[in-house]
Amino acid sequence: MKTNLSFIKTARDKIQLLNQKLLPHKQEYVTCVNGGDVAAAIKEMVVRGAPAIGISAAYGMYLTAWEASKKNKKITLDLLKKQKQQLDAARPTAVNLMWATQEMLSVAAAFFAKEAAAAPGANPSKVKEGPLKLLLALYEKALEIHNDDAERCLAMANNAVKYLVTKYPKEKYNILTHCNTGSLATGGIGTALGAIRLLAEKGKINMVYADETRPYMQGSRLTVFELQKEKIPVTLTIDSQAGYLMQKKLIDAVFVGADRVAANGDVANKIGTYSLSVLAKAHRIPFFVVAPKSTFDNKIENGDKIVVEERPAQEVLEIAGRVIAPKVPVVNYSFDVTPHTNITAIFSEDDTLE
């Protein structure tokens, strides 16, 4: 199953990221030529969605090495470690980001170790020979992370659909989703939205209800945009209306993505997800999370340990640069944590966790 949408264009000397803050009105790209550019794009939410952030960061690590090489500077492990730190700090809650940069750093570390073994006594943190080989290895790893995500999306979506139609059989479903988890957020058809697309392909979707999702309206601007392009029935709903839709029996299941899954199954995702889980549980509606293994963080025991990002007050006080509220203190968490006890099942490319 292919998609006509992509958040990224790649080349050997740059990447271009579709500026998702301008969608659906404008389709403009932000050019990144080094890891610092990519970190800024991630922090400013030009690119968002956990898998997409990880993919972008992988290319960012490569571009830092590429830029150093073009400027005739030595590529060092310290250089790449510093770049990893900058990228990781851009969105601290999304573990895909740290996973991808670590994958890239591991490729570089293995290369440096091989160089050191071939030249005893040489400084193992610097490339003495073969910088082009290192660049090629980094580029190929970034491509691998990018391309593999498409396969992961399809696998986890299939797992989710199979579970839903088996455990909760119905001719057609009304699905509620939150934020954006489609092609704009991943390297493939999407996570939660990927499952919805597969359901639609099988003729199993009656209606998708898309939360608008504050503060950047990723649901109204991006999810509705994607579903319309795929000709999947979609109705936009305000975030605070979910409970009433459930009360009116308009929702059969909730599908969301994840930015981090703790060892016990607690899930960090876009702010508003926890509220949906509480409402779904109260109305006995299945609540599903669809996320790749790269989102699982077994180093964190539970959701209490997850660092939750706080965003600038401006994102709430303004919309598209226009002030909509008095200047007062703002609380603006970008994510919340849903306890595993509120989740019916988590689908990855490998497993279904109940």
223-246 in b/e form (b: 16+ CB < 10 A) is: bbbbbeebebebeebeeeebbebb
Pairwise CA distance, residues 278 & 219, whole Å: 20
pLDDT of amino acid 128: 47
Q: Given phi > 0 = left and psi -120 to 50 = alpha, else beta, which region is 262?
A: beta
Homologous superfamily assigned to 156-353: Translation initiation factor eif-2b; domain 2 (3.40.50.10470)
pLDDT of amino acid 120: 63
Pairwise CA distance, residues 301 & 265, whole Å: 9
How many CB atoms lie under 10 A from the CB of residue 248?
Answer: 8
Would you kindly state where each structural domain of the chain is located, as residue ranges? 8-150, 156-353
Q: Do the strands 296-297 and 352-353 form a parallel or antiparallel pair, or are they unpaired? A: unpaired
pLDDT of amino acid 240: 96
Q: Hey, what CATH topology would domain 8-150 get?
A: Four Helix Bundle (Hemerythrin (Met), subunit A) (1.20.120)
Active site residue ranges: 259
Mean pLDDT for each consecutive 10-residue tract of the chain (354 residues)? 80 96 94 97 95 97 95 92 96 92 96 78 54 93 96 97 98 98 96 98 98 92 95 97 98 97 97 98 98 94 94 90 94 96 97 88
End-to-end CA distance of the chain: 27
